A and B are shown apart, each in its own frame.
Chain A
Amino acid sequence: MAKEEEKRKIRYAMLVDLRRCVGCQSCSVACKSENEVPLSKFRTWVKIIEKGRYPDVSRQFLPALCNNCENPICNRNCPVHATYIRPDGIVMVNMHRCIGCMYCMASCPYDVRYVNPLRKIVQKCFWCAHRVDAGLLPACVETCLGRALIFGDINDPNSEISQVLATNAVVRLKPELGTDPHVFYIAADADAMDPTKGIDIDKIRFMEPY
């Protein structure tokens, strides 16, 4: 019994407090720097929109990153188990296993995966698992200017993320798909969360997959 309690399951999650986000993109660049993300690809970035009519206009931000879902479709659909889920909930891609079929990318409802054009494997945000294992926070969380990003163990009632989650209304992206995403947003703007708002869907430029 003692052992069990000691091994209380950790479930990491990310919380984005958009009241504190300033849209500075330092998370985007921190991630590029930390994980050697090549040009043209992003693991995390901040979507910035402007909404309203002059003079009642506001800017809204939405940092996007892998949701490290509890029931990820990418994991379900990966034919070779290259995508796997760590016990602490982080969804990982095994670089030696990945065959680059890109089916996980097509499956991901958040479009946060990409093929690394240099290494030709699929990569994505994994909450800097190498840093987390060393007891550090993910690079984006560390550098966030407004401390809008909170990362931690939601199974630990004393963690900051648990406390903030307990006292604030949060939303998630596309929870209706049953993926159980683990990136929570406080005060996210509905229009920023809507991928089809504010763009001409017929004129979007798409990138080559790699």
Chain B
Amino acid sequence: MDVGSQVTVLYNSPHQIPLGLLIAQYFYLTGLSAGSFVISVVAILGRKVEYKPLGKIGAILAPLCLILAPMNLLSDMAQPLRFWHLMTYLPGYINFKSPITYGVILLTAYPISATIYAYFVLTGNMKWSKVFAIIGIPLAISVHGYTGFILALGKGRALWNTALMPTLFIVSAMVSGIAMMILIAIVRNMFFMKDKTVEEREKDRQLILGLGKFLGGAIIADLFLLFNDILVLLTSSKEAWETAHLLLWGKFAFEFIGVELFFGSIIPLFLVFYPKTAKTFKWLSIASVLVMIGIYAMRFTVVVGGQSVPLH
């Protein structure tokens, strides 16, 4: 207990958290979509033919997640029936400075392009799928990067107001996207490849195990960014310090240290790099599930935790 100042708040108005779980969920789903789209495009554009099946999975998942994501947004709005106010693209009616406006444009453009892309990938039209892959990549990165901007522009919140936020969001989107791809691929390999030859299945297996390494790399990048972020929080302003306190040993310590860092990053990292566990589907799928939970916890701590430091 600090002796220097004895302050007791006798009266204050209630604090509020405007953006809640639904927004965190929305960020999570756009992250999944962006992540899987990027992996899919890498697979399609890449030279190795064996990656192509992954491309198909990603191509389906990306628009799927993106249809679910705005549902969260709409149900979070106090006036969901006025959603069309966002779409009257006339100067003076919508604010082109607001990240939400970028979001609306992206959320319209990206699912369309992703759907067309998926159509061409599934019908095997390589030429057009490459065209749409190239169109889709910046969109996919922006669609998730902009969510980082949404938070970064909340100037009053120490956890959000950092230039790292968009990058962190994109990297964590990669992490969760890869993890989801791995899971789907494992399911496909185990249940839907019964008619394929043993060699084909083995080739697919190697491919999936290779993805595990990708996952590990992405996790490391994510951890590095998080480390930077926390370090800055700990050493800058008082609010930032309070935020770091909340995350490291305060109210959100379980979600952040426990779920996000330990179960969501450290254990999966170990699982994908430790030779014994890296080679089995069982451990790899466990790692992926943990990563997906971890990223979900990350979205939650960032959105809700970021607002948990009172502003008055």
Contact = CB atoms under 8 A, between A and B. Distances in A.
Nearest to B157: A106
Contacts of B157: 106, 109
Contacts of A106: 18-19, 154, 157, 307
Range for the number of chain A residues in contact with chain B: 35 or more
B15 A81 contact: no
Nearest to A56: B6
Contact of B9 (A40, A105, A174, A198): A198
A206 to B, nearest CB: 5
Contact of A174 (B6, B94, B156): B156
A126 interface: no
B42 to A, nearest CB: 32
A197 B7 CA distance: 7
A108 interface: yes
Contacts of A209: 16-18, 20
B86 A80 contact: yes
Given A177-B155, A198-B7, A206-B16, A80 B251 contact: no
Contacts of B223: none
Interface string A178-210: 110000000000010011111101101111111
B198 interface: no
Contacts of B9: 47-49, 197-199
Interface stretch (A92-100, A129-137, A149-157, A158-166): A92-100
Main secondary structure of the interface of A (DSSP, over half): loop
Nearest to B239: A196
A150 B8 CA distance: 28
Given A99-B83, A121-B78, A209-B17, A109 B311 contact: yes
Given A76-B97, A77-B98, A196-B238, A191 B78 contact: no
Nearest to A60: B7
Contacts of B14: 40, 205-207
Interface string B141-183: 0000000001001111100000000000000000000000000
A50 interface: yes
Given A73-B156, A201-B251, A201-B309, A52 B6 contact: yes
Nearest to B88: A80
A51 interface: yes
Interface stretch (B27-35, B99-107, B205-213): B99-107
Interface in B129-146: none
Nearest to A103: B100
B154 A107 contact: yes
A195 B311 contact: yes
B274 interface: no
B246 A202 contact: yes
B153 A107 contact: yes
Contacts of B12: 45, 47-48
Contact of B94 (A52, A79, A109, A177): A79
A51 B250 contact: no
Pick the 9 closest A-B CB pairs, nearest first. A100-B78, A109-B156, A198-B7, A79-B100, A105-B18, A111-B311, A102-B18, A120-B78, A48-B11
23 contacts: A47-B312, A52-B6, A59-B10, A81-B92, A81-B94, A82-B85, A97-B85, A99-B82, A100-B79, A101-B76, A102-B19, A103-B98, A108-B311, A111-B16, A111-B156, A111-B312, A177-B155, A177-B156, A178-B155, A179-B155, A191-B5, A196-B309, A201-B242
Interface of B: 5-20, 73, 76-79, 82-83, 85-86, 92-95, 97-101, 104, 150, 153-157, 238-239, 242, 245-246, 250-251, 307-312
Interface of A: 25, 40, 42, 45-53, 57, 59, 64, 73, 76-82, 97-103, 105-112, 114-115, 120-122, 174, 177-179, 191, 194-199, 201-202, 204-210
